[in-house]
Amino acid sequence: MLTEAGIAVVLLAVTTALTATEPGRTEEEAARATAAVAEAQRSGPLSLKVPFDTGGQDGKGTVRLELDPGRTGSNDLHVYVKRPNGSAFDVPEVKVSFTLESKDVGPLPVTPSHIATGHWTASGVQIPMAGDWKIAVTVRTSDIDQVTVNKNTKIG
């Protein structure tokens, strides 16, 4: 009789513990909801502003990069080059590359097309995985003056 009472107490304790825990599917749904909220917090394009100085005459300015949607997969890249006074700067050449050093990926080169004064664009820029990417922008202001500036940012 003592053995049966002991088994009954153990079964009662196990049943009480199991009724207090969430089912596995509920925890999975909560994890998916948390991931969706984290994804939704990132709205709009990734925007970076980087100053440059080629060292030559009329060689200073700022490059603004916009990566839309700024996540893994296909993105649209817009590059805007401005003079120190804020006006559009039509430089002869702009190149961009993406490197994920932690995974030994890249550099992934992008040569955007010039579409307007101080504005270049590239469609279908592929970011293969999330991580802390180094974005290198090369700006050429004359036949001999150019500089590459780097900026690290999280993508994905």
- Paired tokens of 97: 């590359």
Which residues contact residue 123 at a Cβ distance below 8 angstroms, ignoring those fewer than 6 apart?
76, 77
The domain ranges of the chain are 2-41, 46-155
What integer pLDDT is reported at residue 149 of this predicted model?
Answer: 95
Contact 112, 120 (CB under 8 A): yes
Whole-number Å distance between alpha carbons of 77 and 73: 12
For 26, other C-beta atoms within 10 Å of its C-beta total 10
Token readout for 75 is 């993105």
H or E segment to which residue 155 belongs: strand 146-155
State residue 10's pLDDT score. 87
* Residue ranges of the chain with per-residue pLDDT less than 70: 21-27, 29-44
Distance separating alpha carbons of residues 113 and 72, to the nearest angstrom? 22
pLDDT digits (tens, 9 = 90+) for 7-46: 888 888 888 877 776 666 666 766 666 655 454 444 458 9
User: Topology of 46-155 in CATH?
Assistant: Immunoglobulin-like (2.60.40)
**pLDDT, position 28:** 72
- Helix (H) / strand (E) element for 133: namely strand 131-140
What is the per-residue pLDDT for 145? 92
Report angle CA 127, 129, 132 to the nearest 5 degrees: 90
Supply the pLDDT for residue 41: 44
pTM of the complete model beyond 0.75: no
